[in-house]
Structures are given as structure tokens and as C-alpha cells.
Structure 1
Amino acid sequence: MEFQDILYEKYNDRAKITINRPDKMNMFTNRTLHEMITALESAWTDKEVGAVILTAAGNRAFTIGGTPGDAEADAQPIEKLPMPSLFAQLLHTIRSIPKPVVAAVNGYAIGGGHVIQVVCDLTIASSTAKFGQVGPKVGSFDAGYGSAYLARIVGEKKAREFWYLCKKYSADECLQMGLVNAVVPPEKLMEETDKWVDAIVKSSPTSLAALKMSFNADSASVWGIQSMAGVALGMYFNTDEAKECGKAFGEKRDPDIAKYR
């Protein structure tokens, strides 16, 4: 398959998926999600691939998430799924592929972009990377992996802080809370990521697959929550409340939300 929104390459027993929309701060569309899922599925069955690197083009952003009103997707039947459902499928694929997925985060990992790195097995971050959520500010939420699984990583209090305050956190702050595994200078990001993957691909693939499934087992129920939350999110996007939050964010003003309490 020829990709438009991502780059897919294989080298040294690994696959590398690069979101390639730097002019849009790597914001994903339905097409982007579909292509990422397809690339992961290809790596899944490829015996030449022992691990997957997930990163993005440019230095400004890993990805700042997506827009539910995206109209760029066409052609492929899977792309006709609503974005919450397709995004959930991407997260499930990252979790389910029996090979470690390592996120190399360069710049902003915000909203859905932050959730993607949360579900990756490991995260190497540029020292200039920023992490955070904006959902409640723009009329969106992730009531699955982005919240329930995040809480398992950073703790309940910190996860609630992420979502209730919608702050941005530095790479060093995320390292301290256990959300990323290492922080390196921007120019060393891929070099360091490849070093970690070098170690991974030298290990027994069966052992790694069994360990990944074991790590996933404790939080496997989150997939059910994610699926249910996707249905709720799809309906919420069409409410006046969500539309007001999104409009206010775009106009750089506080939303008029008192009437929705």
C-alpha cells in the first residue's frame, strides 16, 4: 500500500512509522489513523520486524491529536468509521501487536497524540517535548486509555490533574512521574531510540510477546471502557455543549458553559 500521511520503513530488524504531516503539527485525520493501523498490521505479521518505532516528522510536534469533523478521508471502507472508533482501533492495535512499540516523541504530544504515546510500550522523549490534554477545553474527552490507563501509569491524582486542569508538562516532569522512559536532546532522539530498540530486537520474540500480553492483562478491561467511551464521545461531539467549547477555544475565549452544568 502507498501511504500519503505516514512514512513506513524497515531497517535493522525494526519497522519505523512516521506521521508525516509536519505542516499540520502532525494532526491526524481518518486517513492517517487508517494508514497507521495498516502499517502496524504489516509489522505484526512481518518476521523481519522485531519492534516498532512510532514517531513524527519535524521538531514541532509528535501529534496534537485529530479533529472529529475531518472530511479528508475517503475510498477505504474502514475510513468511514467515525474518528473516535478508528482512533480506538489504533490504540487497540498498538496494545495488541505482539512486538514492543516505542514512541519517539519530538515536540508536542497533546490530546489524542498524548494518548498514543501513553499506550506505547516505551517512550523516549526529546527534552523539548511537551505533554498534555485539552479535551475538556475543546469539547472532547478520552474516557478509556487516555484516562483509566493513564491513571495506572502516573497515579489517580496526577491523571485527574492532566484532565481537569489541561496543563502542559515538560519531558523532565513526565520522566519524574514515570510517563516516559528517557529524555534526550532533540538531535539525539532517534539515535537513543535506536539504541533501545537494538537491545529489544536481540531478545527472544516469544518471550517479549508473552511479557507484553502479561503486562496488558491487568488493564485489559480498559478496552471495554474505551469502546463504550467512543460511542459516548461520538454522540457528545454533536451536542451544543461540545460545539460551544470548540468554538470558544478557536476564538480564544472562555466558553459559556454555565447552562450545561
Structure 2
Amino acid sequence: MYFEDINYEKHEGIATITINRPHVYNAFRGLTIRELIAAFRDAWDDNAVGAVILTGEGEKAFCVGGDQKQKAGEGGYDDQGGLGMGIGLEVENLHQTIRNIPKPVIAAVNGFAIGGGHVLHVICDLTIAADTAKFGQSGPKVGSYDAGFGSAYLARIVGEKKAREIWYLCEQYSAEECKEMGLVNKVVPQDELQDAARNWAGKILEKSPTAIKMLKYSFNADSASITGISQLAMGSLAMFYNSEESEEGKNAFLEKRPVDFQKFRS
């Protein structure tokens, strides 16, 4: 399979999906989302694959969310056939694919996991982080949000108060801080990250695939109601991207100037 924005390989029952846009800190555009979905579905259909590792190219970033330079057109990230008005549908589809694939997904966070990239690791079954990794939200700073799994499911992991802090303040947290709050399972030195992820994937491969599948379904069942919330949230997000308020967030980011949301409070 040929991909432009990601690398995808399968070896000894482990599928590794790497977001390969290091020049923009592995930010995603429409094409990236579609390729991620295709790779996860291939791993889903391959009975020889028992675990999936999701990571980012290089040492600087896992993923920093949507590429703001591609945030154009009607309501979303627009490249050649980009997300456009379909942003909610395509990102939501990726989230559901990661949750529903009947095989554990391990996020190997090698650097910044910010914004939509932070949501991706939250949705993964397990997270192993490099000791240099940084985590946090940026949505409200740039005129965006994830009011579905990125917030509601996050609250189930770290608690309501901490989740609100993460979203309202948009600060960054170290890998160790995230481990303390239950958002990260394990922290390792940067040069040991991929080996640690493969080690855990290998341990999963030693287990009963049916047992693992049913356990994942059971874990997911408790938070399945968030799916409906996510659909509403992504639908509203597509409309919000057409607003002047959202444009102010994007433009301030691209122009490297302080954002001014005060005029939207009147």
C-alpha cells in the first residue's frame, strides 16, 4: 500500500502506523486522516496482526493536531480533496476506527501530543511516552475544540476537574505529570520508546486474541454513549470553522501574534 502522509509496516504480528509529516510536527491534513483510516482498517482485516502501534516520525512530535495552514475552505482543513465540510465525519471516523478495531492500539508518544494529536493518544488503548514528550490541548487558543471523546472520555481517565483544567487553560504537561494523572501508562527514555512499544505489543500477541477482543469491547461499552455526543460535537465544529471567531484563532496562530477573542464576548 502506498501512502504519502504516513508510513505503514507490519512485522511479526505488529502493525506500526507512523504519521510522517515532521516538517509540520506531524500535524494532520485531510489526506493524513484518510490514510490513517486505511492503515487501521488494513490492520483490522489482517488476522496475523494482533496489536497496532501509532507514533510520529522524528523525535519532536507525535502529532500536534490539524495543520492550521490547511484550515481553509468551507468549515475545515482543506487540501487537495481535504477535510472541508467533512471534517467531523472523517476525524470522527478515525476516532471510531481506533476505538473499534478489535486489537489493542498503543500510542508511542515521541514528542508533542497537542490538540487533535492529544485526542488521538487519549483514544488509544495504551500510551507509552518518551521522557521528553509534552501533552496538552490547544483548541480554544486557535478557535477549535473536540467536545466528544477528546473531552468526555478524557474526563473518565483523569477526572472532571483535571480534564476541565487541560481544556480551559491549554497548558502543557510532562510525560511524568501525565503518568501521575493516569493519562500515560509508562515513561521511558526517548531512545527506548519504540522498543518499549514493541515489547508491550509482543506481550499482547502472546494472549488469546478472542479474549483481548472481548475485553476491548467490554471496556468500550462503558463509554459508548460518548459516540452520540461526538457526532453532535463534530457537526457543530464544522459549522464553527466558518465563523469569524474561529478564523481569528487560526489567523493569530499563522501570523504569530496574540489572539484577540475579546470582541466576540459582546
- Which TM-score bucket, shorter chain as reference? over 0.9
> 1:63 aligns to what?
63
> 1:53 aligns to what?
53
> 2:206 aligns to what?
202
CA distance in 2, matches of 1:222, 1:84: 15
Does 2:181 correspond to 1:174? no
In the TM superposition, residue 22 of structure 1 has moved relative to its aligned partner by 1.0
**Secondary structure of the corresponding residue to residue 197 of structure 1:** helix
CA pair 163-122 structure 1, distance change in 2 beyond 3 A: same
Contact 2:78 2:84 in 1 (8 A): no
Contact 2:52 2:106 in 1 (8 A): yes
List aligned pairs for 1:175-194, cutoff 5 A. 175-194=179-198
In the TM superposition, residue 243 of structure 1 has moved relative to its aligned partner by 1.1
| Per-residue Cα deviation, 1:173-201 (whole angstroms, up to 9, x for no partner) | 00000001000000000111111111101
| Per-residue Cα deviation, 1:12-65 (whole angstroms, up to 9, x for no partner) | 211110111111111111111101100110111101100101111100000101
> 2:28 aligns to what?
28
CA pair 81-257 structure 1, distance change in 2 beyond 3 A: closer
CA distance in 1, matches of 2:2, 2:24: 20
> 1:133 aligns to what?
137
> 1:7 aligns to what?
7
Identical residues among aligned pairs (%): 55
User: TM-score w.r.t. structure 2 length?
Assistant: 0.93
Contact 1:26 1:61 in 2 (8 A): yes
Contact 1:144 1:229 in 2 (8 A): yes
- Say how many residue pairs are matched: 258
In the TM superposition, residue 244 of structure 1 has moved relative to its aligned partner by 1.4
Contact 1:245 1:255 in 2 (8 A): yes
> 1:146 aligns to what?
150
> 1:117 aligns to what?
121
**Secondary structure of the corresponding residue to residue 53 of structure 2:** strand
Does 2:255 correspond to 1:248? no
Contact 1:25 1:61 in 2 (8 A): yes
| Per-residue Cα deviation, 1:74-132 (whole angstroms, up to 9, x for no partner) | 3xxx9666223211110100000000000100000000000000000000000000000
**Secondary structure of the corresponding residue to residue 41 of structure 1:** helix
CA distance in 2, matches of 1:232, 1:32: 22
CA distance in 2, matches of 1:258, 1:109: 28
> 1:230 aligns to what?
234
Contact 1:29 1:73 in 2 (8 A): no
| Per-residue Cα deviation, 1:201-224 (whole angstroms, up to 9, x for no partner) | 110010001000100011001111
Contact 1:26 1:64 in 2 (8 A): yes
CA pair 200-30 structure 1, distance change in 2 beyond 3 A: same
CA distance in 1, matches of 2:37, 2:104: 15
Q: Could you list the runs of 5+ residues in structure 2 that have no partner in the other structure?
A: none
User: TM-score w.r.t. structure 1 length?
Assistant: 0.95
Contact 1:55 1:106 in 2 (8 A): yes
In the TM superposition, residue 73 of structure 1 has moved relative to its aligned partner by 3.5
CA distance in 2, matches of 1:38, 1:89: 11
Q: How big is the alpha-carbon RMSD for the aligned residues of Structure 1 and Structure 2?
A: 1.4
> 2:40 aligns to what?
40
CA distance in 2, matches of 1:214, 1:167: 33
Does 2:224 correspond to 1:217? no
In the TM superposition, residue 253 of structure 1 has moved relative to its aligned partner by 3.6
